[in-house]
Structure 1
Amino acid sequence: IPPIVSSDIPTCPPEMRHSPSLQRLISTTTSISLVFLQSSLPNPFISTVNSFTYPPIPKRISFTTRNLSAASMTTKQQQQQQQEKECFSFGVIADVQWADTDDGTNYAKTVKRCYRGALTTLSNAVQWWNDLPSSSSPTFIAQLGDLIDGINAKLNASDDALHKALQQIQKCNCPAYHLVGNHELYNFNRKQLSQASWLQHGNAEYYSFSPHPNWKMIVLDPYQLSLMGLEQDDPRRIEAVNMVCTQNPNVTPDGSGGDWFKGMEDAGYQRRFVPYNGGFGSTQLSWFKKELLDAASSNQRVIVLSHVIIHPKACGGGTMAWDYEDALDLIQSRDVTNGCVVAVMCGHDHKGNYHCDESGIHH
């Protein structure tokens, strides 16, 4: 596993999923500025990660695919890392879940939710990105979904909340790419989202773009199969109902029901079959495979973006896409990717886990 080295973790333990520093790095509301470097290696150095939380506490963590800790790197290796040509940088933020309402808790009453404070965090993140020196300022921002909270729908405040949140992001000195999360689908249906000017690429629900000739960002939609946002007779919803209700008897076809996890305490990854997750679907996965093949043939490196998590060790197992195995098989397949995938970045799981898989891909 490539080590992660920070000021408060001199060496990285074999299992990094529960590292306190990583928990802080990818927290409930987190923004990250990543600087990617040109390299002759199969995967590049990810040289710096600056984490921003509320209140702002910048962190710096170094990732290296050479499987070397900072202490074991020679001076020559350190100089080589510093001399690598920077291609571009981008900011990442996920699960802001803003709402103009008093603090509350999650459904299980185990986690405090600071709805109003989320907008301040978002504003501070944008200001932090804007204050970066031009040499490391982001080329774009990836907003990984759940920009506003589902409680806005109950307050009849969905449009107003979205407008205020977007106003903050639009103050950034670079464009933003917005992903759809489950909380977007609590507030808006698919027809409304297809007409939303704030979503990049018009009504395309999944797409790719290249911020640099040698790099491709692939934006996936983990709610192509979903109990939310789709008409009752939409084939994608029908497939979702059949999939989820078969795997989880606690879920009813309308997506309601009582305790979705009743009797599933020891069900392992089966716990992912709940309405707030979704599936990629065969149509999108076929497109995804073609995008990966094209990137590999063009010698491009790939970063995959998704709201819902794709690797089980990058979460607790209950916040994964229903068909995560199919997506993960493509990502890890040497025949498909030839090692071109560098990282998979997701939101959704507020605990903020991290895993470097057997292929050297960061999740």
Structure 2
Amino acid sequence: MPSAAPLAAVARAQHPCRSPKPAHRPMTVAAAALKQASPGARASAAALSEGPSPLDEDAPSEEQRQPLFKFGLLSDVQHADMDDGASFHGTPRYYRYALCQLDAAVDAMSAAGVAFCLHLGDLIDFHNSRLGVCADTELHHSEKALRVALQHFDRLGRPTLHLLGNHELYQHSREELNRRLGISALQRGVVPHSYYTFHPAPGFRFIMMDGYDVSILGWPPGHPGHEQAQRLLSKHNPNEDKNSANGLEGVDRRFVKFGGGASAEQLAWLRGELESAAAAGERAIVACHLCFHPATCPGACLLWNYDEVLQVLQRYPGTVVGTLAGHAHADGFAADEAGIRHRVCKAVLETPPGRECYGIVEVFADAIRINGVDTFASEEWPLAPLGPPTAAAAAAPAGAPAAGEPAGKQVAAVQA
């Protein structure tokens, strides 16, 4: 894995817990449709809908190696107001201290001058749903946890982009999350789904996928996404408890109830976004809570139709720079045959007191540098020359395998 020097402005000192307070003046948003979103979500939508950040207007020369823009990166905060615990595998989890980790990250990102922050999903933990109503308020712990976590992100004073993870969907409806996380305000005609695109600077496109578009989670019984998920789990997971992967091997372990996949409609949307990016000469970074590549994570953490998604991405070499994902709670790295980099990010939740876990990403004309802080690994992605989509991309319908490629077990499965 290539190394990258951390930013000098990023401090690694232990960060004390404290109540959130604004680090900058609140951002002004006029859109009436955003009134119900959190302050941070409203700021995100306003800044991104208005186009490139002022940080990008007078970009320094490449000779000085100044980035075109910077953004913050972290995953799986999973906040809950409860004592420390452990994962099903015994890994310690620091539920309350996760907010201290978030504050440290926000302060460093602010000092570094990031244009926005990207959180890769699982903002709050499912344990909130079991804690009941808070003793000091009339709010349920699930509601209070979401409010508090968003307030801590609001301290940045810059947009924060969110992805939906399984833990949010255990506690809140998709419609509510889309609204409160600012997703609805950034969509263009795909509501009630949770995938969207944004342009942080000229020449760059971030494509945010919904890993639970086909899932038991987030859809009511009878919804096509829910029904398709039930068929897939019945076909591929023989366990009575569909959250269990017992007896499944390798990548087949992905067929669990806490997972999900991308629908045919989302794959068509993804291909359309990549076609548009390629035509405009843009670089694309694709993000999802669930993981894209089997070399980056345990099998249970993969998108159900990860192979189908990879086939779409690999038809646009040069345009697709890399993917970002969370969910697995450990750093993971891969580079595929098309030259696309795949990164899975370590969880804030499992970072002990005295350590930190986030990245500040610098985007240059010829490379993307992930400057990891403390336990968050550093990495550099070179940008390949831009070129036209492959011949297979021009000929194949959205979501279809490239010419000469086998359909594969999962491609057939998602069409079942």
What TM-score bracket applies, with the shorter chain setting the length? 0.7 to 0.9
- Residues paired across the two proteins, number: 284
1:104 paired to 2:91: no
Q: Partners of 2:100 and 2:66 in 1: how far apart?
A: 34
Contact 2:9 2:111 in 1 (8 A): no
Counterpart in the other structure of 1:5: 3
Query: CA-atom RMSD, angstroms?
Result: 2.4
Counterpart in the other structure of 2:276: 294
How far is 1:105 from its partner? 1.3
Instruction: Pick one of 178, 182, 201 that aligns with 2:166.
Output: 182
1:141 paired to 2:124: no
1:229 paired to 2:218: yes
After TM superposition, the structure 1 = structure 2 runs for residues 73-112 of structure 1, keeping only pairs within 5 Å, are 83-84=64-65, 86-108=67-89, 110-112=90-92
Q: Partners of 2:246 and 2:271 in 1: how far apart?
A: 36
Q: Partners of 1:249 and 1:229 in 2: how far apart?
A: 23
Q: Partners of 2:235 and 2:317 in 1: how far apart?
A: 36
1:121 paired to 2:78: no
Contact 2:243 2:256 in 1 (8 A): no
Partner AA of 1:117 in structure 2: Y
Counterpart in the other structure of 2:391: none
How far is 1:305 from its partner? 1.0
Pair 50,229 (structure 1): closer, same or farther in 2 beyond 3 Å: farther
Structure 1, gaps ≥5 residues long: 8-32, 34-47, 57-79, 252-256
Counterpart in the other structure of 2:175: 191
Instruction: Pick one of 263, 266, 269 that aligns with 2:247.
Output: 263
Deviations 1:248-273 (A, max 9, x none): 1115xxxxx27712222xx1100000
Q: Partners of 1:51 and 1:262 in 2: how far apart?
A: 43
| 3-state SS of paired residue (1:128) | helix
| 3-state SS of paired residue (1:309) | coil
Contact 1:223 1:277 in 2 (8 A): yes
Structure 2, gaps ≥5 residues long: 16-60, 133-140, 343-416
Q: Partners of 2:75 and 2:104 in 1: how far apart?
A: 14
Counterpart in the other structure of 1:24: none
Q: Partners of 2:128 and 2:341 in 1: how far apart?
A: 33
Counterpart in the other structure of 1:18: none
Contact 1:52 1:125 in 2 (8 A): no
| 3-state SS of paired residue (1:121) | helix
Q: Partners of 2:74 and 2:333 in 1: how far apart?
A: 15
Counterpart in the other structure of 1:168: 152
Q: Partners of 1:50 and 1:272 in 2: how far apart?
A: 39
Structure 1 length-normalised TM: 0.73
Of the two structures, which has the highest relative contact order with CA contacts closer than 8 Å and spacing of 6 or more?
A: 2
Q: Partners of 2:3 and 2:62 in 1: how far apart?
A: 14
Q: Partners of 1:53 and 1:323 in 2: how far apart?
A: 38
After TM superposition, the structure 1 = structure 2 runs for residues 313-352 of structure 1, keeping only pairs within 5 Å, are 313-333=295-315, 337-352=316-331
Counterpart in the other structure of 1:66: none
Pair 197,181 (structure 1): closer, same or farther in 2 beyond 3 Å: closer
Partner AA of 1:140 in structure 2: F
Q: Partners of 1:50 and 1:152 in 2: how far apart?
A: 35
How far is 1:153 from its partner? 1.0
Partner AA of 1:129 in structure 2: M
Pair 259,173 (structure 1): closer, same or farther in 2 beyond 3 Å: closer
How far is 1:54 from its partner? 8.4
Contact 2:290 2:302 in 1 (8 A): yes
Contact 1:143 1:179 in 2 (8 A): yes
Provide the identity percentage.
Answer: 35
Deviations 1:164-191 (A, max 9, x none): 1111100003111111000010111223
Pair 142,100 (structure 1): closer, same or farther in 2 beyond 3 Å: same
Partner AA of 2:100 in structure 1: T
How far is 1:226 from its partner? 0.7
Counterpart in the other structure of 2:256: 274
Contact 2:245 2:300 in 1 (8 A): no
Instruction: Pick one of 215, 219, 223 that aligns with 2:204.
Output: 215
Pair 198,259 (structure 1): closer, same or farther in 2 beyond 3 Å: closer
Contact 2:186 2:198 in 1 (8 A): no
Q: Partners of 1:318 and 1:81 in 2: how far apart?
A: 42
How far is 1:339 from its partner? 2.1
Contact 2:242 2:257 in 1 (8 A): no
Q: Partners of 1:324 and 1:259 in 2: how far apart?
A: 19
Pair 52,93 (structure 1): closer, same or farther in 2 beyond 3 Å: farther
How far is 1:318 from its partner? 1.8
Contact 1:226 1:278 in 2 (8 A): yes
